[in-house]
Amino acid sequence: EGLSTDQIAALTTAQVGALTTKQIGALTTDQIAAFETADLGSLTTSAVKALSTDQIEALTTDQIAGLTTSNIASLTSAQVSALSTDQIVALTTAQISSLSTSAVASLTTDQLNALESADLQKLSSAQITSLTTSQIEGLSTDQIAALTTAQV
């Protein structure tokens, strides 16, 4: 039998970082939510990719903010689409700018509207180019005004 939620919460950062993708994939959403924020940053990019969309949805905003930019860059489009607007708001500007172009292209209108102007300004030209017409149409006038000339 696997570890209890309390046992998961008691794991050290090094122990969390040593979890395999198979072990990560087998964790329940309650177990994922039990990880300490600092521990999640120790996950390998492969382990982060192994998180199901349900597991991603179970992460708290503090846990999301605690992921490294490498962890965020490794998120799949499906994982990014699963993020709540509160989770999107919790991302730092550096985390937002580390998203892959396919991840940016998968953002919903609500997720894009949750981005701060400073976050949008840090998106690369490639990330901006990956936005669909409907995504761009969904941006607020303040968000459009915040884009730099290089981005448009």
Q: In percent, how much of the chain has pLDDT > 70?
A: 99
pLDDT above 70 for 1: no
Average pLDDT over residues 49-75: 96
End-to-end CA distance of the chain: 54
SS3 67: coil
CA distance 48 to 32: 11
Task: Give the per-residue pLDDT at 3.
Answer: 85
Taking all residues of the chain, what is their mean pLDDT, rounded to a whole number?
A: 94
Task: Give the per-residue pLDDT at 120.
Answer: 93
Per the CB < 8 A criterion, the answer to whether 65 and 92 are in contact is: yes
CA distance 111 to 108: 5
